[in-house]
């Protein structure tokens, strides 16, 4: 997770876990330039920076939503079938042609896609969502995973019952 504060960036520490964050897990580093805290910042720092450079977002949430990631493995977009997902998300693009291990390689592609969509999925890796507040970016992340779970179950049911 990160927040833009002018030319500074508050971002979670490399390897920190969302459910166990403590004050020591929040790094204050430069938005445009590296400094002392940069090596401790999230390994996704390059993506967060690219997003802030390309958008007016003030918050970014990166997550690894299980069902959304599973759906991203063989699809170029996730299109929710449930009412809420269809209304909120419409469709969520999947970035990258193959499974992406190092998201630095697709940082600019993610940032550009987020100009058109509030959330995107990096194939086989995870999602990036933007907002003016962390709560907004988390809302997109939660909506994606809930819709992906429903879609996953619906597709499984279709496969088991022959359509």
Each residue's pLDDT expressed in tens, for the chain with a length of 163 residues: 999 999 999 999 998 887 888 999 999 999 998 998 899 999 999 999 999 999 999 999 999 999 999 999 999 999 999 999 999 999 999 998 887 767 777 999 999 999 999 999 999 999 999 999 999 999 999 999 999 999 999 999 999 987 6
Q: Quote the pLDDT of residue 105.
A: 76
Q: Say how far apart CA 124 and CA 137 lie, in whole Å.
A: 20
Domains identified in the chain, total number? 1
Total-model pTM: 0.93
Contact 51, 140 (CB under 8 A): no
What's 76's DSSP letter?
Answer: S
Domain hosting residue 96, numbered range: 2-160
- We report the CATH number of the domain holding residue 151 as 3.40.225.10
Q: Quote the pLDDT of residue 163.
A: 64
């Amino acid at each position: 997770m990160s927040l833009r504060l002018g030319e500074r960036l508050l971002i979670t520490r490399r390897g920190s876990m969302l459910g166990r964050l403590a004050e020591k897990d929040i790094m204050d580093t430069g938005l445009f330039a590296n400094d002392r805290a940069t090596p401790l910042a999230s390994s996704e720092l390059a993506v967060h920076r690219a997003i802030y450079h390309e958008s007016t977002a003030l918050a970014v949430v990166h997550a690894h939503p299980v069902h959304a990631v599973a759906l991203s493995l063989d699809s170029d977009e996730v299109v929710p079938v449930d009412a809420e997902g269809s209304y909120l998300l419409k469709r969520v693009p999947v970035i990258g042609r193959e499974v992406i291990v190092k998201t630095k390689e697709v940082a600019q592609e993610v940032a550009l896609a987020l100009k058109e969509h509030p959330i995107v999925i990096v194939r086989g890796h995870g999602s990036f969502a933007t907002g003016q507040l962390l709560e907004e970016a988390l809302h997109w992340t939660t909506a994606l995973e809930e819709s992906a779970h429903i879609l996953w179950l619906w597709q499984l049911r279709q496969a088991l019952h022959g359509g």
